[in-house]
Amino acid sequence: MNVKNRKLRVAGIVGAVILALPLLVFMIAIPLLSSTTSLLTPEFFSDVIRDMDYDKIVEQVTDQIADGESLPAGMVDDMMETDFADDLIELVTEDMIITLREGEPAGYINGRAIVDLAQEHLEDLVDVCRAHLPEVRDLSEAELKDEIMNGVRQYALDMPPSLLTVEDLVGMEISHSEAEWLSYLLDPTVLVWCVVITVLLAAAFFVCLLHRLRGMLWLGILAIVASLPAIVLGALLNIANLKLSAGTQEEIARSAVETLTGSLTTTGIVLAVLGVLLIIGFVIAGVINKKRAAALPTPVTDPTPVAQEAPAASRFCPNCGQPVQEQAGFCPHCGQSL
């Protein structure tokens, strides 16, 4: 290996080492951001709300009331299948997103909103009540509607102007600056830029390694290492989730953590699989190269030494006495014609 190639190889290794750390950081960030960017999306909150165990919540709430009676089995499940529940969930998710982003109550969920939704989907509420409450089956349609709306209005009177606050959602007060940073970090654009930067760093890392197959190997190792924090964090969250006690807030937390854990673990596993595939590609490419090298014809060398040609006979110039070629017409030393 000449000096130039040695310098290029050393420069490539140094460049790859310099790129390895930021590349690893961005590869670790991708699973974390991909799971957290879903926190401020309607889909996330809808999944959280729909996956909650409402039977436990209703049981806890009714146990706290002296003369409370639990709702009939299946009533909450049927209620969740109505258009009333769909619109209510949509309103709640929008309120949650804005409340978390702005750091102040959005005020979408209040008594007036609940009354309007109940009035709009009164037929759904009537059907659910008739199916699960025997005491209302003798009431006429108009009487049952009046009973439902009176109950909703009475409930709405006790509601605060904004049902959801930041303290309710995250258990602490978030300032405007903190809310802005939270919104920025959870912006999907940040995830896209992380992916782009990671791809560029990986390409530069690959180019810096003069042995391209070795670049595949190290990229695979980095991907597997980067996936470990996401997988371990997902497992720890899942373990912590199993230890949550019963209760309304705990049930909300359980549903949220399950959604977050699923996204986090899935992205980490995908990154680990990518790393394994790169390493497998490195091994397969190495085997193919060895087979190609073995298939090339080996040059045959003749053991018989090649006879050296005898130098042409020489003569001497009669003028200067220097040796000259036999076929020369003049002496190259003195110019004497021969």
- For the stretch 308-337, pLDDT in tens is 554 554 677 776 777 777 777 777 777 666
136 is a domain residue: no
What pLDDT was estimated at residue 36?
73
Tell me the pLDDT tens digit for each residue of 95-110. 776 766 665 666 667 7
Query: What does 110-151 look like in DSSP terms, one character per residue?
Result: SHHHHHHHHHHTHHHHHHHHHHH-GGGTTS-HHHHHHHHHHH
Tell me the pLDDT tens digit for each residue of 187-203. 778 888 888 998 898 88
Whole-model pTM over 0.85: no
320 is a domain residue: no
96 is a domain residue: yes
Total domains in the chain come to 1
Query: What does 217-267 look like in DSSP terms, one character per residue?
Result: HHHHHHHHHHHHHHHHHHHHHHHHHHTPPSSHHHHHHHHHHHHHHHHHHHH
- Mean pLDDT computed over 84-100: 74
Integer Cα distance of 23 and 35 in angstroms: 19
More confidently predicted of 49 and 146: 146
Q: Are 250 and 244 in contact (CB under 8 A)?
A: yes
214 is a domain residue: yes
Residue-number span of the structural domain to which 70 is assigned: 3-110+160-290
83 is a domain residue: yes
61 is a domain residue: yes
- What are the distances in angstroms from CA 8 to CA 177, 200, 203, 217? 48, 21, 18, 20
- Mean pLDDT computed over 244-255: 58
**Measuring CA to CA, which residue among 218, 248, 228 is closest to residue 31?**
228
pLDDT band at residue 273 under the 50/70/90 scheme? very high
What pLDDT was estimated at residue 245?
55
Say if strands 314-316 and 323-325 run parallel, antiparallel, or are unpaired.
Answer: antiparallel
327 is a domain residue: no
Integer Cα distance of 59 and 338 in angstroms: 128
